[in-house]
Every structure is written in C-alpha cells, then in structure tokens.
A and B are shown apart, each in its own frame.
Chain A
C-alpha cells in the first residue's frame, strides 16, 4: 500500500516535468511520422508498378525491421556528425517505419480493382488523375493502417531514445532503473503504456474519420496485417 502511495506521490509531485517529457515524446513522434509519410508514401507511389524495385525496397525494409532498435541507435550515433542528437533518433524512427508504411502503400495501390482503373481510363482520366482521384482514395484505409502500426512502434522505440539524448517519457524509466527507484519505473511504464494506447486509439479514430463513407464497409477492417 505504501508502495502504491509512493507511486501516486511521485506522479503528483512531478506533473510539470512529466508533461514536459510527454510533449518531447510527442514532438519526436510527430517529426518522425511526418517525414516517414512524406518519404515512404512517395517511394511507394514511385515503385507501385515496378515489382522488382518494390521487392528490393521491401526487402530492405524488412531487413531494417529485424535489427534491434538499440543497435540501430548505436550504429547511428557512431556516425560522425550524427552522434547523440535528435537527428539520430529521428532517422532511426523513419527507418523503422519504412516497412509498415511502404508495404501498405504498395499493396493497397496494387489491390485496386482493375475494372475501376479501366473505367477511370475510359472516362478520359490521365494516369496522374487516376492515381490522385481513384487509387489513393481507395487505398487510404490500408495506408492509414500502416501509418498506425508505424506510429505505435515509434512511441515504443522512441522511449529507448533517452539513451541517446532524448528527454521523453523514457527518462522516468531510465532514471528509475539507474537509481533503483521503483516508483519512477512504475510511473514511467504506466505512462508510456497509456501514451501508446491513446495514440493508437487516436489514429484509429482518424482512420474512420478520414475514410470516405462509400468504401468504409469492407476495406477498413483488414488493416494491420501480418508483420
């Protein structure tokens, strides 16, 4: 019981610091996810009709995914010019989001029904118009599902970035482990978990808000996928 009280006290006594950490965590994720979407969605569009190129970039993505996040951080900070900096953290997160976003963009763009594309062409649309007005809107639910997977992963991997100089919610766990302060560890673990769940929920909500009513019924649910 006293333990529970200590946890609670730590939380209430440090609200200022904790909200600062939370903001830092959020900033890191927002920067990384914005860059990732720009980069990997464009790359996905670029390779959409080139199976060979798509296979090799997806292969690279899954190779990166296999590397432990601590190892990626370690390799990045050893590169002169990067070091213990926010750049290293952001680059790592962007690299990790390659597979979930790129794969979903590529797969969903290629899954669009051929007869729909045929119809669009028959209406006199250019390739560019077909991409922007037909393929991308139809692919949006699956693309967002990939973004969701990537974001959730980033929150977790971002926690570890405290070891390369970030000051986010992971600090509570890092300091708690270093000083054997269980109250800090417990507060940190609970907060990052809540943070992940809230962000997951938020993007799920965004998904349902952003997707056109007409295609919601059958596309939305097959999200996630195997990874």
Chain B
C-alpha cells in the first residue's frame, strides 16, 4: 500500500466527494428536522399523548432497522440517484429527532407546566415559552445523533447511485485497493468526528443557555 497514492486520491477526488457527501447530509437533515419537530410536538398533544409510550417504543424499534435496508428499499420504490437517497436519509434521520422531541417534552416536570398554566399562559404560550425552551437541549442532542447517523448512512447511499465518500470505499473493496478504501474511510470518519464535536459543543452551549 502506498501512502503517496492515498494522498493523490484524496487530493484528486476528496473535495468533490466531500461536497456531495455533505450535500446529502445537510439536505436530508433539513427535511428531517422540519418534519420531525412538528410530528414530535403533535404526539405530545391530545389525543395522541395517550399513546405516547407506544409511539416512543415504536420510534426506538424503527431506529433499529438496519440502514442498509432503509436505503435499499428506495431503489425499487424510486430508482437510483440523489433523490431516493435524500428520501431514505431523511426518513432515517427523523427518527432520533422525533424520539428526542417526544421524550424531552414528556419528561418535563409537571409542576412547571402547572405553574405556567396557573400564571394564565395559554396552551400555545406554554408550548412556545415553557415546553420547547426546556426541551431544546435534548432536541439538539437528537439532531446530533441524527447527524452522525446520516454521515454514516450517506456512505451507503453510493449503493443507490447518490455518490459521496461511499464511492471510494465500495470501489476500493471491489478493486481490492486499500488506498481507495482508506481514503474514503478516513475522510468519512473525519467528517463524522468533526460534526459530532461541533454539535456536542453547540449542545453544551444550548444546555447552559436554557438551563438543563
């Protein structure tokens, strides 16, 4: 194995593949967040809140579905390309965000909500001024989890023709070229660790601000 060749591969293909990878990750996360937050909030309101424990355990179980299965199932449904990949990644990413939103709101101290109601806040005000701010740190933690999952799952998205860093890894395995495999793996790992650290930092700041 040649270290030089490794650097050449990273230099030649790195930037465009990382760009595609991050594009897949961020577009999917965007959709996941704007879908998961309202759903998560809705689940904690009547009449859905009576089934809240079942919904939470469903979300937990769904999270266990292998990412390869989620990505692959979109090939027969939508064909190959970036669109089905973003669809699959968004659906996979919305699970941890929805779960944490539900769990965070459900876990709030009932006394606090009682007090807010006692102060004459309307239901909407309780949600916007009390529940959501207090739930924010855990929701952000859910987004962090979703981001890490998505960076990983996006490597698999290559298998349905979406490109990204998975291309180097899977091509490398097919060609039996450790340089290709390692170039893709190291870049994917670097992206994941960097995003994880940044979001961890962000989450701690949010926690301080909203007092968790």
A contact residues vs B (CB 8 Å cutoff) = 62-63, 65-75, 77-78, 84, 152-153, 155-157, 159-160, 163-164, 170, 173, 176-177, 180, 182, 185-186, 188-189, 192-193, 196-197, 200, 224, 226-227
Contact of A185 among B64, B72, B173 (CB under 8 A): B72
| Residues of chain A contacted by B178 (CB below 8 angstroms) | 77-78
| Docked CA distance A71–B188 (Å) | 6
CB–CB B192/A173 < 8 A: no
B contacts with A: majority SS: helix
CB–CB A78/B1 < 8 A: yes
Contact of A224 among B60, B75, B160, B172 (CB under 8 A): B60
Contact A192:B69 (CB < 8 A) given known A66-B196, A74-B184, A227-B145: yes
Closest to A165 in B: B173
CB–CB B76/A197 < 8 A: no
Contact of A186 among B73, B148, B173, B182 (CB under 8 A): B73
Asked if B159 is at the interface of the complex by the 8 Å CB criterion, the answer is yes
CB–CB A66/B192 < 8 A: yes
CB–CB B66/A70 < 8 A: no
- Size of the B side of the interface (Cβ < 8 Å), in residues, is 42
| Docked CA distance A69–B192 (Å) | 11
Q: How far is the CB of A92 from chain B (nearest CB, A)?
A: 11
24 examples of A-B residue contacts, CB within 8 angstroms: A67-B152, A67-B193, A68-B189, A69-B152, A70-B166, A70-B169, A70-B170, A70-B188, A71-B169, A71-B184, A71-B189, A77-B181, A78-B182, A84-B173, A153-B64, A157-B66, A160-B66, A177-B72, A177-B160, A182-B76, A192-B65, A192-B69, A200-B64, A227-B145
Closest to A77 in B: B181
| Residues of chain A contacted by B155 (CB below 8 angstroms) | 68, 70-71
Contact A180:B75 (CB < 8 A) given known A156-B66, A196-B66: yes
| Docked CA distance A152–B64 (Å) | 6
A contacts with B: majority SS: helix
Closest to A227 in B: B145
Closest to A190 in B: B69
Q: How far is the CB of B184 from chain A (nearest CB, A)?
A: 6
| Residues of chain B contacted by A180 (CB below 8 angstroms) | 75
| Residues of chain B contacted by A177 (CB below 8 angstroms) | 72, 75, 159-160
CB–CB A65/B148 < 8 A: yes
| Residues of chain B contacted by A74 (CB below 8 angstroms) | 169, 172-173, 181-182, 184-185
Q: How far is the CB of A186 from chain B (nearest CB, A)?
A: 6
| Docked CA distance A113–B73 (Å) | 48
| Residues of chain A contacted by B54 (CB below 8 angstroms) | none
Asked if B89 is at the interface of the complex by the 8 Å CB criterion, the answer is no
CB–CB A156/B160 < 8 A: no
| Residues of chain A contacted by B185 (CB below 8 angstroms) | 68, 70-75, 78
Asked if B32 is at the interface of the complex by the 8 Å CB criterion, the answer is no
